[in-house]
Structure 1
Amino acid sequence: MPYVNIKVTREGGPDGTGPTPEEKRQLISGVTDLLQQVLNKNPATTFVVIDEVPLDNWGMEGRQVSQIRAAQT
């Protein structure tokens, strides 16, 4: 019973709030298909969870992503 957790920053999308419902559908479908093809896992018992993380809660290079994005504009 595979469990896949995808974490993305809450940005992008048409309103800046994260992936669109269609993009999420594609991620869930694509990951499920990949696990079936590569590891022969049953799609009925494959769980995919997408977590959207606010930019202030995601860091890299010692800074919040919100700071990095602000410096890029």
Structure 2
Amino acid sequence: MPYVNIKITREGATAAQKRELIQGVTQLLQRVLGKNPATTVVVIDEVDTDNWGIGGETVTDRRAPGR
């Protein structure tokens, strides 16, 4: 049973976009690896930009106006 965990920043991904991600990843695993879609698990975690760091700073700080 494949398990895929997608992590994105919490910035308003719509339910439709998340559905598309789940369907697309499931189809990709079926096509490339022959995995059964009925047993493929996809989880999307949304992380606040204050809790996501790149290069020693938060995404919130990196995206601050005037940078």
TM range (shorter): over 0.9
4+ runs of 1 displaced by more than 2 Å?
none
Q: 5+ residue gaps in structure 2?
A: none
Q: What TM-score results when the alignment is normalised by the length of structure 2?
A: 0.95
Counterpart check, 1:57 vs 2:56 = no
Structure 1 residue corresponding to 2:63, chosen from 34, 49, 69: 69
Q: Which amino acid aligns with 2:6?
A: I
Identity %: 66
Aligned residue-pair number: 67
TM-score normalised by structure 1 residue count: 0.87
Q: Distance in 2 between matches of 1:21 and 1:31?
A: 15
Equivalent residue in structure 1 for 2:36, among 34, 42, 59: 42
Distance in 2 of aligned mates of 1:70 and 1:25 = 30
RMSD over equivalenced CA pairs, Å: 1.2
Superposition deviation, residue 59 in structure 1: 0.3
Unmatched 5+ residue regions in structure 1?
12-17
